[in-house]
């Protein structure tokens, strides 16, 4: 292991700089993980490179941890790229966090209108509206009133009454979001937006863009159930991504995927359940206020992480048949569905990732 020359800790990130005496690497690479420690297979991979140098940086963004491990032949370039990537991703997380009363999204939710909205907020909402239209509203970012209601009652261990749910559902309609020039408005009082079904993917994509601008062309950013890859892990060796089993008691890993220049996102009933029996969880049908009952999980591949993030969320709501019809309209997208009985169905092109 290389000698540690620098260690710096702050509340928002931790940074470790490893700098050996030799710099044989001709190409910068980035690997980012959501876990607090680098996976053992990645440690083994890096240890095979004689005289490598790398920097590890942990980011905390809206309740998620992103760990970035970068290595290259010029530490200044790596450090600069990492700092700019971190700044970009953290700034986006702050804008999109509806829990943070000072965020740009919270200001929109509380006032119903925001003038001179940032390009980032306009872009991500426009992306979400496009997917909302194609899914006939089964992916809907105005689901926040329902989520808030369910979370409130979930803490009290019982389901909200019918009247309260009807009131919350009346505020859910992505078509009531209007964007004109740089102004975003919510047409009905009490509406609220959550970007939980697309935000993490969007942030990953923006991190990839910053790294690419700084000369990194082999990248993996992994934020839990959302992954985006660019290039390869090594020459002729694709990135390897493990998809979790929706019932961890059976097996921790459902399958492994080999990806190049692809995003992979998984949504499942096990990720944030409201109760241990899993019928009610964080993915809600925006038309009924109830969690969908057909699927345990859905894994989507796509050209970018924002799209796979949103489609995996929407697919869990739509079910297999509707999802297949939607995915056919998105070039480069494939899907694997796990039903409640743990049987599996996948699109024809998904096999190329296995």
Looking at domain 4-95+198-353, its CATH superfamily turns out to be ApbE-like domains (3.10.520.10)
Specify the CATH number for 104-186; select among 1.20.1300.10, 1.10.357.10, 3.40.50.300, 1.10.3980.10. 1.10.3980.10
| The model's pTM | 0.85
What pLDDT shows up at residue 21?
32
pLDDT tens profile 102-154: 999 999 999 999 999 999 999 999 999 999 999 999 999 999 999 999 887 76
User: What is the SS3 string spanning the chain?
Assistant: CCCEEEEEECCCEEEEEECCCCCCCCCCEEEEECCCCCCHHHHHHHHCCCCCCEEEEEEEECCEEEEEEEECCCHHHHHHHHHHHHHHHHHHHHHHCCCCCCCHHHHHHHHCEECCCCHHHHHHHHHHHHHHHHCCCCCCHHHHHHHHHHHHHHCCCCCCCHHHHHHHHCCCCHHHEEEECCEEEECCCCCCCCCCCCHHHHHHHHHHHHHHHCCCCEEEEEECCEEEEECCCECCECEEEEEECCCCCCCCEEEEEEECCCEEEEEECCCCECCCCCCCECCCCCCCCCCCCCEEEEEEEECCHHHHHHHHHHHHHHCHHHHHHHHCCCCCCEEEEEECCCCEEECHHHHHHC
What pLDDT shows up at residue 272?
66
4-95+198-353 shares its CATH topology with 104-186: no
What pLDDT shows up at residue 205?
96
pLDDT tens profile 243-293: 888 887 777 888 899 999 999 999 988 776 655 554 566 789 999 998 888
What pLDDT shows up at residue 170?
97
What pLDDT shows up at residue 15?
44
Query: Mean pLDDT by 10-residue block, N- to C-terminus, for the chain (354 residues)?
Result: 29 38 41 46 46 68 74 76 91 95 97 97 98 97 93 66 93 98 96 96 94 85 85 83 84 88 91 59 88 92 97 96 94 96 95 93
Domain definitions of the chain by residue range: 4-95+198-353, 104-186
């Amino acid at each position: 292991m290389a000698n540690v020359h620098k260690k710096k800790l702050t509340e928002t990130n931790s940074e470790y700089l490893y700098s050996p005496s030799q710099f044989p690497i001709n190409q910068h690479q980035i690997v980012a993980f959501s876990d607090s420690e680098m996976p053992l297979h990645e440690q083994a991979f890096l240890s095979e490179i004689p005289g490598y140098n790398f920097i590890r940086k942990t980011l905390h963004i809206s309740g998620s941890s992103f760990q970035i491990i970068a290595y290259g032949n010029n530490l200044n370039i790596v450090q600069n790229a990492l700092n700019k990537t971190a700044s970009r991703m953290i700034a986006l997380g702050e804008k999109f966090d509806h829990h943070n009363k000072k965020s740009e999204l919270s200001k929109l939710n509380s006032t119903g209108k925001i003038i001179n909205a940032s390009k980032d907020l306009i872009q991500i909402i426009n992306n979400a509206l496009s997917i909302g239209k194609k899914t006939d509203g089964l992916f809907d970012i105005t689901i926040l009133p329902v989520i808030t209601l369910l979370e409130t009652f979930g803490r009290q261990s019982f389901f909200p009454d019918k009247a309260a749910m009807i009131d919350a559902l009346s505020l859910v309609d992505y078509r009531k979001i209007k964007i004109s020039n740089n102004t975003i408005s919510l047409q009905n009082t009490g509406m609220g937006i959550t970007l939980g079904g697309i935000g993490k993917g969007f942030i990953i994509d923006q991190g990839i863009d910053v790294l690419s601008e700084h000369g990194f062309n082999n990248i993996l950013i992994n934020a839990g159930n959302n992954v985006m890859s660019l290039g390869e892990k090594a020459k002729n060796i694709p990135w390897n991504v493990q998809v979790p089993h929706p019932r961890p008691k059976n097996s921790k890993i459902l399958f492994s995927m080999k990806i190049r220049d692809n995003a992979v996102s998984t949504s499942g009933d096990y990720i944030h359940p409201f109760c241990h029996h899993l019928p009610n969880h964080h993915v809600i049908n925006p038309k009924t206020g109830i969690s969908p009952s057909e699927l345990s999980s859905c894994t989507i591949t796509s050209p970018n992480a924002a799209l796979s993030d949103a489609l995996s969320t929407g697919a869990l709501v739509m079910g297999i048949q509707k999802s297949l019809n939607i995915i056919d309209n998105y070039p480069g997208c494939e899907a694997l569905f796990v039903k409640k009985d743990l049987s599996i169905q996948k699109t024809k092109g998904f096999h190329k990732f296995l």
